[in-house]
């Protein structure tokens, strides 16, 4: 195979584009796709202070790498989940990455700061460990962005992630969650802007980019993820993709183009109020994070005096895990 860009010897094949690229051209093509995503959705401006949620995996480190290469002011945020050696290795890789580039890495340790870790949540909580992990990430990324004065949180969700999430939400016709699965969520009171600049790029492409850029990332999957429904949706999408290359991109990008506008018009606005415990926005008396934490730790949540008036704020994106985990069951709202 020859590189589509320079005619040299290709090392990465992108079947859905019926193209292949050499080791020098692929990173260029990859960055072009990221730039295209950023431009198309007005994700970032040059002056933005960006907080990149980094896990030590290929996607988030590839994203951080591209943003730094493109000259953005991008700091990393690593969240210590307490998942044994897996978390240790992940932290190590993010620290090495940051040190090599002279980039700033912030770290929050879940156990240290909030008194529980993900394995404990999996054992003690009413939710799956993946669910608590997802809602903790959303909560903490948002809070750290706010506390640190960042303009935007960038996450490494790739096309496979987005297609699998969309498939899961569509199989359930969770119409509100479908409506909000956008690559960019503008800032609203209580919520930082959220962007997903890798949404046009597949898992394979981010892995190839990380490899070609010499990024030392954690290859292993999280040990708690086995049986995760998201993985099943990825498998289903992969089975279709193998026979019909381009299906994933058609599904997710087609949704952005033709599906989302329809769901957006049908979307209902909800009223968010300040969590009675931590003050972060929620639809319930207490936010999903505080409820999950209290449940894991066996604590009782007691409302603090209500703020002057409930805040009307726009809805938050639900990503990574099923959004009911974020908002809780409707009866609680």
The contact set with a copy of itself (CB under 8 A) reads: 170-173, 175, 229, 232-233, 235-236, 239-240, 243-244, 247, 250-251, 254-255, 257-259, 262-263, 265-266
Q: Tokens 């943003």 appear where?
A: 67
Least spacing, CB of residue 201 vs a copy of itself, in Å: 19
Q: Measured from the CB of residue 317, what is the shortest distance to a copy of itself in angstroms?
A: 19
- Whole-number minimum distance, CB 227 to a copy of itself, in Å? 9
Q: How far is the CB of 325 from a copy of itself (least distance, A)?
A: 17
Query: Would you say the C-alpha torsion 229, 130, 52, 180 has a positive or negative sign?
Result: positive
Q: At residue 201, what are phi and psi to the nearest 5 degrees?
A: -115, 135
- By beta-carbon proximity to a copy of itself, the closer residue of 83 and 164 is 164
Closer residue to a copy of itself in complex, CB, 99/242: 242
CB closer to a copy of itself out of 87 and 182: 182
Residue 156: partners with Cβ closer than 8 Å, 6 or more residues away: 52, 53, 54, 55, 57, 59, 60, 61, 62, 63, 196, 198, 206
State the minimum distance, in angstroms, from the CB of residue 268 to a copy of itself: 12
Q: What is the dihedral of CA 290, 291, 292, 293, to 10 degrees?
A: 50
Question: Which are the contacts of 325, defined by CB distance < 8 A and separation ≥ 6?
Answer: 127, 131, 132, 134, 135, 288, 318
Nearer residue to a copy of itself within complex by CB, 2 or 172? 172
Residues contacting 40, CB < 8 A, separation 6+: none
Question: 3-class SS at 325?
Answer: helix
As measured in angstroms, the least distance from the Cβ of 290 to a copy of itself is 30
Q: Quick one: 86 or 263, whose CB is closer to a copy of itself?
A: 263
**Residue 190 or residue 323: which is nearer to a copy of itself going by CB?**
323
Separation CA 230–CA 147 (nearest Å) = 31
């Amino acid at each position: 195979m020859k590189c589509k860009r320079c005619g040299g010897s290709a090392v990465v094949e992108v079947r859905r584009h019926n193209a292949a690229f050499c080791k020098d051209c692929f990173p260029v093509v990859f960055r072009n796709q990221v730039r295209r995503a950023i431009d198309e959705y007005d994700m970032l401006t040059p002056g933005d202070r960006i907080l990149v949620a980094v896990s030590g995996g290929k996607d988030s480190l590839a994203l951080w790498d591209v943003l730094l290469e493109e000259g953005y002011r991008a700091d990393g945020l690593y969240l210590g989940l307490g998942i044994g050696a897996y978390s240790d290795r992940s932290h190590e890789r993010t620290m090495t990455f940051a040190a090599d580039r002279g980039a700033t890495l912030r770290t929050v340790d879940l156990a240290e700061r909030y008194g529980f870790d993900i394995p404990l949540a999996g054992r003690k909580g009413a939710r799956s460990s993946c669910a608590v992990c997802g809602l903790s990430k959303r909560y903490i990324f948002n809070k750290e962005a706010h506390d640190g004065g960042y303009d935007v949180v960038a996450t490494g969700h790739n096309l496979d992630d987005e297609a699998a999430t969309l498939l899961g939400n569509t199989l359930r016709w969770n119409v509100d969650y479908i409506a909000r699965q956008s690559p960019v969520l503008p800032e609203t009171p209580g919520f930082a802007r959220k962007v997903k600049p890798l949404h046009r790029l597949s898992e394979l492409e981010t892995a190839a980019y990380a490899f070609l850029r010499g990024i030392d990332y954690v290859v292993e999957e999280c040990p708690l993820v086995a049986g995760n429904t998201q993985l099943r949706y990825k498998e289903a999408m992969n089975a279709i993709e193998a026979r019909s290359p381009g299906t994933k991109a058609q599904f997710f990008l087609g949704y952005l183009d033709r599906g989302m506008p329809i769901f957006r018009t049908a979307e209902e606005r909800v009223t968010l109020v300040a969590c009675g415990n931590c003050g972060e926005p929620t639809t319930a008396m207490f936010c999903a994070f505080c409820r999950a934490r209290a449940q894991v730790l066996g604590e009782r949540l007691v409302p603090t005096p209500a703020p002057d008036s409930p805040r009307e704020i726009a809805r938050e994106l639900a990503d990574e895990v099923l959004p009911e985990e974020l908002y809780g069951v409707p009866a609680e709202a």
